[in-house]
Structure 1
Amino acid sequence: MRTSVLSDWLAQRLDRGNGQPIYRQLHRLLQQAILSRELPAGSKVPSSRLLAQELGIGRNTVTQVYEQLVLEGYVSSATGRGTFVADSAPDEIVGAPDAEASSTPDAPNAADAREPGVLASGRTPASSSSPSPHRATRALSTRGARLIAGAGVSKRQWGAFMPGVPDVTKFPARVWSRLHNKYWRRLRPDLLTYAPGGGLAALRHALADYLRTSRSVRCTPEQIIVTTGIHQSVDLAVRLLSDPGDVIWTEDPCYWGVRSVLHVSGLQSRPIAVDDEGIAPSPDDLAQPPKLMLVTPSHQYPLGMVMSLARRRMLLEYARQHQCWIIEDDYDSEFRYGSRPLASLQGLDTSGQVIYVGSFGKTLFPGLRIGYLVVPEALAESFATASAELYREGQLLQQAMLAEFIAEGHFTSHIRRMRTLYGQRRQTLLDAASQRYGDALPAVGGDAGLHLVMQLPDGSDDRRVAAAALERNIVVRPLSGYYAQPSLAPSGLLIGYACVPDEEIAPAFNTLADAIDATLPQFA
């Protein structure tokens, strides 16, 4: 098939040597062609497979760009028909180059404005290097554009098989309501104002007692800083412990939400591969010490392996020698099935290099928006001051209720009940998968947490499978999206089971399997 005008133009302008990701370049160039109306409303753009072949880039890269353009309203996608420039482009684009000024006289003529990849007027899109000086631009910042381009947040936050969401219907609402009524009846004015630095003292004391007992965390109440969750905890830590341009190690794959926090922080994120023992820095990695490391030792997200004791000791000694900070995200540590929860990495730290972070989003309910850090004693006052200065926290009524909820034993009782329930649901999901596929699609990381990963055959497009599942009202996440280079990542699906009633798991999995079979010919 001959190279289209659009593909030709893109190929000439994609610069593989300038250090800017191909994804961002392709996204910007297609935006430019649409905004300048060289690709008019209704024009069909090439398929992701065709454009990837003609440009010599990964199909996943093109697919991600098209998905982002759909989200931004530039194009619309119709199953079975293709992708078209949307009809909703405004009549006048502020900052877009003038059509006449951007003409290219020697560009090839277009035989049909609706032909895939052919520009409407026969001209190539306007050059981005010569915008009109009389027009104001309204573009996102570089880091803002990077954040939006890589956003992983889902519009759906509930239902089969949304990963990382607990069953909020099992939350002890009566106990919580009793505490809520108690504090409102005996209202204290100090609970309706801004929170003191570090959070409510009663909650910090309750948390210290719980963490010492259940997670082997060594801390005093003063070392605990209450936040709104993992994102804010990591944001606070990197702001206080690093400068723009510093290097941070992240596990590859890792949680997309934390990766987004790091993208806008100004840090250089260096993905480090994981193996069966957790994060596994190579000799080359170790030769270039980072300023920080972000790890999930108790339950690697999303693959689920546990960091070995030998690897933990190695990281702690390396951090001590090179004065690196380790941020320990104790993800899903409370939910292990068939064994006791593992002790924290922080509990092994003797040199004060570990920042421990956790939250109540999975153990209670995400909407509570309460998390915490445990910082070395020497940093406690600085972190408390910075938290109050940057975020002006509140929610003291919620913190007071939570403190009493923990102190009265309701928290540990709830975790025990949910651990049993989630363990049963995990097994029901594994049984459903085995009944449908046998050993053809193995599951990994399923002995802890709220999700498992189903591996797909090499070369499978897990994003297409996830999209096909969503069309059937089933939410799963493609594993490749958690890797630094999705096009080179293994293929799989994150399947959350915690928020799915027992009786709905098998029917929902069969619906998911129908999507898999429809997308992957070998299972049809």
Structure 2
Amino acid sequence: MDTIILADWLSVRLDRTADEPAYRQMLELMQQAILTGQLAPGTKLPSSRMLAIDLGVARNTVLHVYEQLTAEGYVSSATGSGTYVADTAPRDAIASRAKPGEAKTPRALSRRGERLVEQAGVSPKQWGAFMPGVPDVAEFPARTWSRLQAKLWKRASPDLLTYAPGGGYRPLRRALSDYLRVARSVKCQPDQIIITTGIHQSIDLAVRLLTDFGDRAWVEEPCYWGVRSVLQSSGLTLAPVPVDEEGLNPSARDMAEPPRIALVTPSHQYPLGMVMSLARRRALLEFARQHKVWIIEDDYDSEFRYGSRPLSSLQGLDDAGQVIYVGSLGKMLYPGLRMGYMVVPEELVETFRIGVAELYREGQLMQQAVLTEFILDGHLTSHVRRMRGLYGERRELLIRAIHAHFGDTLAVRGDEAGLHFVLELPPSADDRAISADALAAGVVTRPLVNYYMNRDEALRGLMLGYACVPNADIAPMFAKLANVIERALAPVAVAQA
């Protein structure tokens, strides 16, 4: 571009009516011209006075543009000789310049990165009928939380505005230890609690500190895809262990090769919903003691149990210090809080304190302080009690809707606790296709097959969450889903006839 026509080139591109100032527009236009070669290296720019006159702008505007271009290395200037476009092309031979029109080679992911993306289960929609595992955030006592938060901000201590000490805010750890001892029969002292951003981070921390690349890990078959992704991304060798009506059911072959860790959901198996029997719990703990296996107990939603009291934790039966108990406050309160906790054996306390501080540089102390007040004032207990009643009503409404459309032909399983259950489908059904068609119709479901590592032996079904669906919406939204299911199963019924 000849500098004689630079003013004309800028003039037709400047938007005099835009909110963005002329200085910013000129700067961006000239930067792009230099980067694309329209203003070639060595080109002398017109004087600030001349360019200002030609553009009809203040000289200070042009001076600011030239100063910024100089500061960022786009141009160079010397007193008495003028301002020239700098040579900004990469000088490293490895960073060769692409030719015009030449396609860029995409940057390849690592193998574990590719696996993570290919097997990702995260949904583009995180709310509404029938998203599993999501509480009704509209029912969260926001005014109470806001009042407690405002009180703390009025007298905000510098200690609450810095990085969190190893393990988290001590008053919160004390409040959680009291709560867990009563509500979940967890054996712990405040120092054994490590505050995290949720179950994913808790498990990631445990894996980083207790395993090496290639170590063997037992996971339930089926299991939560998010946890499976954390383990696989850490380079562990996953060994899927089947579950039956009593929970984890390792074979002799499984036990012949003890894992480094075993991840289980004993109080409400995810996703199928069964409870691990006491005999299986004791057998697993004894196996772990004999073979030095770390057990990670994922207790993600056991507060919500219908028709009976919440079950005691596996950790409460552990006398050998082999269980690491992890939980989340997201399902009790709201997922965006991003706060969880882990209870570690006493011998690991200092290690985990150092680990969480070194790897993640934890903060959120103000939120931790608000949560402490929320718990100590009794709001957590009353909120959980109220939501347990509400979720129980919605569970019943959804089961009635299912029976109204399908009678007893499609079974419901895992409905005794939690925020979801499984609607079983015939073995020949394509639950992934049904889930995709349901999403197109505005209904969110999860295909059960996605939770299996060995999909050839997977049960077929849909995970249906009811917690975040208003009572009045459950029947009409399930009617939409029922239409999708009926269309999908019609060819199956014809073939069987």
Asked if 1:210 is matched to 2:220, the reply is no
Measure, in 2, the Cα distance between the counterparts of 1:483 and 1:381: 36
| TM alignment of 1:19-30, pairs within 5 A | none
Deviations 1:359-391 (A, max 9, x none): 111110000000011000010011011100000
- Give, in angstroms, the shift of residue 93 of structure 1: 3.7
In structure 2, the partner of 1:453 is 422
Identical aligned pairs, as a percentage? Answer: 64
| TM alignment of 1:51-450, pairs within 5 A | 92-95=102-105, 138-450=107-419
Measure, in 1, the Cα distance between the counterparts of 2:101 and 2:300: 48
| Cα distance change of structure 1 residues 91 and 161 upon mapping to structure 2, 3 Å threshold | farther
- Give, in angstroms, the shift of residue 174 of structure 1: 1.3
Residue identity opposite 2:443 in structure 1 = I
SS in 2 for 1:520: helix
Measure, in 2, the Cα distance between the counterparts of 1:280 and 1:331: 21
Measure, in 1, the Cα distance between the counterparts of 2:393 and 2:147: 30
TM-score, with length taken from structure 1? 0.74
- Give, in angstroms, the shift of residue 91 of structure 1: 6.3
Measure, in 2, the Cα distance between the counterparts of 1:512 and 1:244: 43
Measure, in 1, the Cα distance between the counterparts of 2:373 and 2:220: 36
Measure, in 1, the Cα distance between the counterparts of 2:451 and 2:381: 31
- Please point out which of 431, 435, 456 is paired with 1:462: 431
TM-score, with length taken from structure 2? 0.78
Measure, in 2, the Cα distance between the counterparts of 1:523 and 1:260: 36
- Give, in angstroms, the shift of residue 178 of structure 1: 0.6
Residue identity opposite 2:209 in structure 1 = L
Is the Cα contact below 8 Å between 1:231 and 1:261 reproduced in 2? Answer: yes
Moved more, 301-310 or 487-496: 487-496
Measure, in 2, the Cα distance between the counterparts of 1:519 and 1:460: 8
Unpaired segments ≥5 residues, structure 2: 1-99
Measure, in 2, the Cα distance between the counterparts of 1:325 and 1:185: 44
- Please point out which of 472, 480, 483 is paired with 1:503: 472
- Give, in angstroms, the shift of residue 301 of structure 1: 0.2
- Give, in angstroms, the shift of residue 485 of structure 1: 2.0
Measure, in 1, the Cα distance between the counterparts of 2:428 and 2:103: 40
- Give, in angstroms, the shift of residue 233 of structure 1: 0.2
Structure showing greater Rg: 2
Is the Cα contact below 8 Å between 1:171 and 1:364 reproduced in 2? Answer: yes
Unpaired segments ≥5 residues, structure 1: 1-89, 96-136
Deviations 1:273-330 (A, max 9, x none): 0000101000110111100000000000000000000000000000000010000001
| Cα distance change of structure 1 residues 467 and 202 upon mapping to structure 2, 3 Å threshold | same
Measure, in 1, the Cα distance between the counterparts of 2:385 and 2:113: 41
SS in 2 for 1:294: strand
SS in 1 for 2:324: strand
- Give, in angstroms, the shift of residue 187 of structure 1: 1.1
In structure 2, the partner of 1:484 is 453
Residue identity opposite 1:301 in structure 2 = Y
Measure, in 2, the Cα distance between the counterparts of 1:253 and 1:157: 22
- Give, in angstroms, the shift of residue 458 of structure 1: 1.1
- Give, in angstroms, the shift of residue 523 of structure 1: 6.5
Residue identity opposite 2:476 in structure 1 = P
SS in 1 for 2:383: helix
SS in 2 for 1:225: strand
In structure 1, the partner of 2:440 is 471
In structure 2, the partner of 1:51 is none
- Give, in angstroms, the shift of residue 211 of structure 1: 0.5
- Give, in angstroms, the shift of residue 488 of structure 1: 3.0
Measure, in 2, the Cα distance between the counterparts of 1:207 and 1:501: 30
Measure, in 2, the Cα distance between the counterparts of 1:458 and 1:404: 50
